[in-house]
Structure 1
Amino acid sequence: MQISVDVHNYMETLVGQELAKPKYVDNFDHEQLADLACLALSQLRPVYIRHDIDFLSALPEERLVALKDYAVTAIEAATSMIIDDRRKNRKDEVLVVFSKQQMFDDNIELEWYEKPLLNKN
């Protein structure tokens, strides 16, 4: 089994279908569309499935409409972030200097958010 082949996030399909519409394709370049997809998907709860046809045959229509609405809302929120992109007015001439080298200690205890959710004892 290969997860990237056998399992996928159905929300990616819905976001992709919405971003394929002319209102996005005609107004954003490839890089911006990719950014829109990332920003929108980051806002959505993933729905992992194996086969679209099996999933859709068991999914109530109201739930599918709700999932599509979630995708549209997430893309609209992401669109405002792309339109108001603060990066477009940055100058690449800004020099970044680090005053001291960062050293990482592999023996330091992990933070709570770095620890695995399941403890195997």
Structure 2
Amino acid sequence: MQINVDVHNYMETLVGQLLAQEHFADRFDNEQLADLACLALNQLRPVYIRHDIDFLSALPEDRLMVLKQHAETAIAVALSMIVEDRRKNRDTDIPMTWHATRFDEDPELEWYETPVMKPKNH
């Protein structure tokens, strides 16, 4: 098994579809599109799957619409970060981020994220 071949993050597919639209492709170069994709995907909860068709056949339409909306929102936020980039020299500046882990506020797993089997007690 090769994880990069056999398993993929479905959110990458959604973000890629959105960034392939003409208004992004005409406005941004490949470097900026890659930055947009990274910034958007870092905001999204990954949805790892093996086969799109199997995943989509079991996914309710309203949940797919929610995932698409999340991808659109993440791209909008990423877009504002690219457009309003305050760094003068992007090649030498090192971005800094701060993150505070909040385990209490983590949402519950979705139906497709819940492990199928429970671990055996030893």
Report the TM range for the smaller structure's normalisation: 0.7 to 0.9
User: 1:44 is paired with a residue of what secondary structure?
Assistant: coil
For residues 68-90 of structure 1, what are the alpha-carbon distances to aligned partners after superposition, in whole Å with 9 as ceiling and x for unaligned?
Answer: 00000000000000001123x23
| Structure-1 residue corresponding to 2:48 | 48
Residues of 2 paired with 1:80 and 1:10: CA distance?
Answer: 23
| Structure-2 residue corresponding to 1:21 | 21
TM-score, structure 1 as length reference: 0.73
Is 1:75 paired with 2:67? no
| Structure-1 residue corresponding to 2:3 | 3
For residues 98-121 of structure 1, what are the alpha-carbon distances to aligned partners after superposition, in whole Å with 9 as ceiling and x for unaligned?
Answer: xxxxxxxxxxxxxxx9xxxxxxxx
Instruction: Give the share of equivalent positions with the same residue, in percent.
Output: 71
The verdict on how the C-alpha distance between 1:10 and 1:30 changes in structure 2, with shifts beyond 3 A counting, is same
Runs of at least 5 residues in structure 2 that lack an aligned partner in the other structure: 94-100, 102-122
| Structure-2 residue corresponding to 1:90 | 89
The verdict on how the C-alpha distance between 1:57 and 1:31 changes in structure 2, with shifts beyond 3 A counting, is same
The verdict on how the C-alpha distance between 1:49 and 1:91 changes in structure 2, with shifts beyond 3 A counting, is closer
Q: Which runs of 4+ in 1 moved over 6 A?
A: 91-94
Residues of 1 paired with 2:72 and 2:65: CA distance?
Answer: 11
Structure with a larger share of its residues in helix: 1
How many pairs are equivalent? 94
Q: Which amino acid aligns with 2:61?
A: E
| Structure-2 residue corresponding to 1:104 | none
- The structure having more radius of gyration, on CA atoms, is 1
TM-score, structure 2 as length reference: 0.72
The verdict on how the C-alpha distance between 1:76 and 1:49 changes in structure 2, with shifts beyond 3 A counting, is same
The verdict on how the C-alpha distance between 1:5 and 1:64 changes in structure 2, with shifts beyond 3 A counting, is same
Q: Which amino acid aligns with 2:70?
A: Y
Pairwise CA RMSD of aligned residues? 2.0
Residues of 1 paired with 2:92 and 2:65: CA distance?
Answer: 47
User: 1:56 is paired with a residue of what secondary structure?
Assistant: helix
Runs of at least 5 residues in structure 1 that lack an aligned partner in the other structure: 95-112, 114-121
